[in-house]
């Protein structure tokens, strides 16, 4: 029997605006989706994800259903505040409500992608499979 594994829970938003999805760039990790880890005491996942998206992008969103889950470990060879942490991530289909993208210091650029060009931005990232599944069902 394997031992219990301690991990963090991460929430990620596939934000749709005019048929495109927001992809952020993390200078340490590459392609990223808006979102982050649940903070101590948070039990409402939709509210936690809305908070993270607002902090990272300035956008207001509505949170739909989760559609993909995955586990990964932040590499230890990067200068990242979560280096070495195991993250159980849940991607939610979300809809843009309002706001202009204003990035937090965690990210250095962004792009809105669609089914025709997403691979060039997320290839090799932890998010590639989530995008594949999302677009397969659109």
Q: Is the pLDDT assigned to residue 73 strictly greater than 90? A: no
Q: Would 32 be classed as within a structural domain?
A: yes
Decide: 91 and 12 in contact? Cβ < 8 Å. yes
Q: Would 130 be classed as within a structural domain?
A: yes
Q: Would 1 be classed as within a structural domain?
A: no
pTM for the model stands at 0.89
Element (H, E) at 39: none
Please tell me whether residue 107 adopts helix, strand or coil conformation.
coil
Q: Strand 30-32 vs strand 20-26: parallel, antiparallel, or unpaired?
A: antiparallel
Q: Would 71 be classed as within a structural domain?
A: yes
Q: Is the pLDDT assigned to residue 6 strictly greater than 90? A: no
Which residues are paired to 7 by β-bridges? none
Return the CATH number at 99.
Answer: 3.90.79.10
Please tell me whether residue 18 adopts helix, strand or coil conformation.
coil
The residue with tokens 């939610």 is 92
Our count of domains for the chain comes to: 1
Q: Would 39 be classed as within a structural domain?
A: yes
Q: Would 2 be classed as within a structural domain?
A: no
**What are the tens digits of pLDDT across the range 114-137?**
999 999 999 988 899 999 999 988
Q: Would 37 be classed as within a structural domain?
A: yes
Q: Is the pLDDT assigned to residue 81 strictly greater than 90? A: no
- Region 18-43 average pLDDT: 92
Domain residue limits at 73: 8-136
C-alpha to C-alpha distance for 6 and 97, rounded to whole angstroms: 35
* Residue 70 vs residue 81, higher pLDDT: 70
Q: Would 3 be classed as within a structural domain?
A: no
**What are the tens digits of pLDDT across the range 42-66?**
999 999 999 999 999 999 999 999 9
Ranking 65-74, 75-84, 96-105 by mean pLDDT, the lowest is 75-84
Q: Which are the contacts of 3, defined by CB distance < 8 A and separation ≥ 6?
A: none
């Amino acid at each position: 029997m394997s031992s219990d594994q301690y991990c963090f829970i991460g929430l990620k938003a596939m934000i749709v605006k005019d048929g495109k999805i927001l992809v952020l760039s993390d200078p340490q990790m590459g392609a990223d989706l808006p979102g982050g880890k649940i903070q101590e005491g948070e039990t409402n996942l939709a509210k936690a994800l809305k908070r993270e998206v607002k902090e990272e992008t300035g956008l207001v969103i509505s949170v739909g259903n989760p559609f993909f889950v995955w586990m990964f470990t932040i590499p230890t060879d990067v200068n990242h505040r979560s280096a070495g942490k195991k993250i159980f991530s849940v991607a939610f289909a979300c809809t843009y409500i309002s706001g202009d993208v204003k990035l937090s210091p965690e990210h250095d650029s962004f792009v809105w992608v669609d089914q025709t060009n997403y691979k060039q931005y997320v290839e090799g990232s932890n998010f590639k499979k989530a995008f594949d599944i999302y677009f397969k069902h659109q």
